[in-house]
Amino acid sequence: MSGTTITHEGTAKTGTREGTITQSRAARELSLKRSEFDVAVHLGRIRTVPDDGGGGRRVARAEIDRLRAEAGFPEALRKSVEAVGTAEGAAVMQVSGPRFTRLARLGLVVPVHFYLNRYRAVVWLYPAEELRRFAADEKNTSLLSGRTPEGLRDQLAAGLDLRPRNWRGRHLGLSLRQADDPWARAAIVASLLGPVQVAEIVKDPYERALLNRFRPTPPAHGTPGSPAAHIAERIMTADDPDEIAWLRADLTHALDEARDRRPAPRTAPKTHTPPTAAERKPSPRPKRRPAGLLGRLRRGERRDPAAC
């Protein structure tokens, strides 16, 4: 009977929560650290489902069974979701650390995750399996040794760094795959744009309120308002003109789809109710006692001779 609920008609009904487990429990059952589990979700190795109860996303029991049945579990799964930093990534590709950083800044290797160390420096993590494939491809041999081509050197000298943009693109793809509601998909795109950009496209306040309601929770990097949170916010906000133009076009398209499916709800206008007779009748005003000598005379009070 586990995983089902019985209706009054006697039929079994399976819901989203039934037959699923939390992500923390799924990580334990798959012999993964939580950081490894998160990378696996980002890479699409583990599929998650929404929780009808309003909590975080969950993992279906069938998905756990599928992964546990794969050959080489759990070592093969852990190897496929291994994420490494710059030093480890350079070792995987058998290049120097500076060369690896140049490849990453050029967008030739794409980060899957980032975090801020205790010095608030951004640490990028890359899928080790993707680095191995890149290094094994003969077309990339010239990039792994020798002098960097002149055109690429010029881009690096001009300050090119595609790591944040490529991370945003990967993060956007994952989030859109997980979204079922059209307004949620529009909110995901809007979350990568600055508030001014969103306000220029979404002029209806009711639509903006709905987008804010569906806005995804950003990755936790420090308490809100802290320097670490500001750094993470900059990474999550598009700043390149080409990327901004692309996201604006995507947001416009997503809004059109959302409006066709379900217009944003609007507050019903308040109807004016005429006041009743009791409400129209003015309430009696309290009598005010005159102050000073005139008031004492009206109240029949006499002056004290001794006060003269």
Whether the per-residue pLDDT at 218 is higher than 90: the answer is no
Pairwise CA distance, residues 144 & 161, whole Å: 18
Q: Which among 97, 250, 226 is positioned nearest to 168, based on CA atoms? A: 250
Secondary structure of the chain in HEC code, one letter for each residue: CCCCEECCCCCEECCCCCCEEEHHHHHHHCCCCHHHHHHHHHCCCCCCECCCCCCCCEEEHHHHHHHHCCCCCCHHHHHHCCEECHHHHHHHHCCCHHHHHHHHHCCCCCCCEEEECCCCCEEEEEEHHHHHHHHHCHHHHHHHCCCCCHHHHHHHHCCCCCHHHHHHHHHHHHHHHHCCCHHHHHHHHHCCCCHHHHHHHCCCHHHHHHHHHHCCCCCCCCCCCCHHHHHHHHHCCCCCHHHHHHHHHHHHHHHHHHHHHCCCCCCCCCCCCCCCHHHHCCCCCCCCCCCHHHHHHHCCCCCCHHHC
Q: pLDDT tens digits, residue range 166-215?
A: 999 999 999 999 898 999 999 999 999 999 999 999 999 999 999 999 99
For residue 82, what pLDDT is reported? Answer: 96
Q: pLDDT tens digits, residue range 89-99?
A: 999 999 999 99
- Measure CA 37 to chain center: 18
Whether the per-residue pLDDT at 222 is higher than 80: the answer is no
- At 127, is the pLDDT very low, low, confident or very high (cuts 50, 70, 90)? very high
Q: Kindly state the percentage of the chain with pLDDT values over 70.
A: 80
**What does the pLDDT average to over 143-157?**
93
The token duo for 11 is: 């039929």
For residue 12, what pLDDT is reported? Answer: 33
For residue 275, what pLDDT is reported? Answer: 64
**What does the pLDDT average to over 54-78?**
93
Q: Which residues of 12-40 are buried (b: 16+ CB within 10 A; e: fewer)?
A: eeeeeeeebbebeebbebbebeeebbbbb
Whether the per-residue pLDDT at 286 is higher than 60: the answer is no
185 C-beta neighbours (distance < 10 Å), count: 23
